[in-house]
Amino acid sequence: MATPTKEEVQQALDTIFAADSEIYQSRGFQRRIGFGKRPALLIIDLANAWTRPGHKFSCDGMDVIIPTNQKLLEAARKKNIPIIYTTTAYQDPDGPRSDTGLWALKIPVESLEEGSEAAQIDDRIAPIPERGEQVIVKKRASAFHGTYLAGYLRAQGVDTVITTGVTMAGCVRHTAEDTIAEGFRPILVREGCGDRVPGVTEWNLFDIDAKFGDVEPLDRVLEYLAGIEPHAAT
């Protein structure tokens, strides 16, 4: 059986989404949460293990995802909004008492050692520490699980979390669900999110947009950022 092309997969998804949208809308789903007044930019796991070819975690679509994040970073820095990156990495991931937990039984975490080249943020979108840009090393899928992220966002007065990154079916999705659970407005940038499996990105964006946050195109998010007042440090 021939592998479906990207166009065939998208056509099938469009048909499914049209039918599912009718179901959701008839039952009151797909409402809009909207933008708030104090955003932050959250970039999930755009480290070399995900953005560069040849790694076990390599994802597709970086020819779009990286430029999208470059544009968002430029707009975010102009407005002095908080910028947070995450990477997923472990101390001694092969060790008998590693901080991987049981996740090592499911995925190849042995390639994600703290301090390694693989776990470093891609230098095309590198953080600027002098600007106070945070890099959170997480151990689980969600950027909130076991990290200081929620407290940091609250201390900065943030009400809206603009999110990009990978993978859409894992870390980005779990982060979006926890974003709204923690009381922040989740905004996912469509062109800034990706995965390694065809169809997974579009399906999860559709489902998140129905239940957990707003999926917006890059142009709309850039328009929003251009219209806000620059943040003063809190």
Choose between 98 and 133: higher pLDDT.
133
1 part of a folded domain: no
In terms of residue numbers, what domain contains 111? 33-227
**Residue 111 φ/ψ, nearest 5 degrees:** -90, 5
pLDDT of 7 strictly over 60: yes
198, 214, 217, 171: which is closest to 34 by C-alpha? 214
Mean model confidence pLDDT for the chain: 92
171 part of a folded domain: yes
For residue 164, give the 3-state DSSP assignment: strand
Provide the 8-state DSSP code for 113.
B
23-43 in b/e burial notation, b at 16+ Cβ within 10 A? ebeeeeeeeeeebeebbbbbb
pLDDT band at 95 (very low <50, low <70, confident <90, very high): confident
68 part of a folded domain: yes
d(CA 231, CA 234): 9
Active site residue 171: yes
Integer CA distances (angstroms), 85 to 31, 34, 204, in order: 28, 23, 21
Tens digits of per-residue pLDDT, 147-188?
Answer: 999 999 999 999 999 999 999 999 999 999 999 999 999 999
**Residue 65 φ/ψ, nearest 5 degrees:** -65, -45
Residues 6+ apart with CB under 8 A from 103: 109, 139, 140
Q: Name the token pair of 116.
A: 């390694």
Q: Name the token pair of 117.
A: 């080249």
109 part of a folded domain: yes
- Which one of 171, 208, 218, 222 is the catalytic residue? 171
164 part of a folded domain: yes
C-beta separation of 40 from 192 below 8 A: no
Q: What is the CATH number of the domain that holds 132?
A: 3.40.50.850
Burial class (CB within 10 angstroms; exposed 0-12, middle 13-18, buried 19+) of 81: buried
For residue 39, give the 3-state DSSP assignment: strand
Provide the pLDDT for residue 229: 93
234 part of a folded domain: no
d(CA 13, CA 7): 10
49, 91, 51: which is closest to 67 by C-alpha? 51
Tens digits of per-residue pLDDT, 203-229?
Answer: 999 999 999 999 999 999 999 999 999
233 part of a folded domain: no
**Residue 189 φ/ψ, nearest 5 degrees:** -90, 115
Q: In the chain, how many domains are there?
A: 1
11 part of a folded domain: no
